[in-house]
Amino acid sequence: MHHLKVEDLYQFVYISRITSTGLSSASTLNDIAKTASQNNRKNHITGVLCYGNGYFFQYLEGSEQALTNLKNRLLMDDRHKDLQCLEFAAINKRCFAEWSLHSIVLERWLISDPRAKALLPFKPYHWAPDKWRQFLKILQNYHKEQEKTDQADVQPIKYNALGVTLGKVVGQHQAFFLIQTVLGALIILTLLWFMLSDKF
Ligand SMILES: Cc1cc2nc3c(=O)[nH]c(=O)nc-3n(C[C@H](O)[C@H](O)[C@H](O)COP(=O)(O)O)c2cc1C
Give pLDDT tens digits for 72-123: 999 999 999 999 999 999 999 998 888 787 877 776 666 667 777 777 788 9
CATH code of the domain covering residue 26: 3.30.70.100
For residue 109, the model assigns a pLDDT of 60
SS3 142: helix
Same domain, 100 and 179: no
Indicate whether 116 and 165 sit together in one domain: no
pTM for this structure? 0.74
Sheet holding 102-105, edge to edge: 80-90, 10-18, 55-62, 46-52, 102-105
Calculate how far, in angstroms, residue 73's C-alpha sits from the geometric centre of ligand 1.
Answer: 7
pLDDT of residue 62 exceeding 80, the answer is: yes
Residues whose beta carbon lies within 6 Å of some atom of ligand 1: 16, 32, 35-36, 39-40, 49, 56, 58, 60, 70, 73-74, 77, 79-80, 101
Shared domain for 100 and 148, answered yes or no, is yes
Ligand 1 atom with least separation from CA of 28: 31
Residues 11 and 50 occupy one common structural domain: yes
How sure is the predictor about 168, in pLDDT bands with cuts at 50, 70 and 90? low
Domain assignment present for residue 1? The answer is no
For the ranges 102-116, 150-164, 185-199, the one whose mean pLDDT is highest: 185-199
Residue 194 structural domain: 161-200
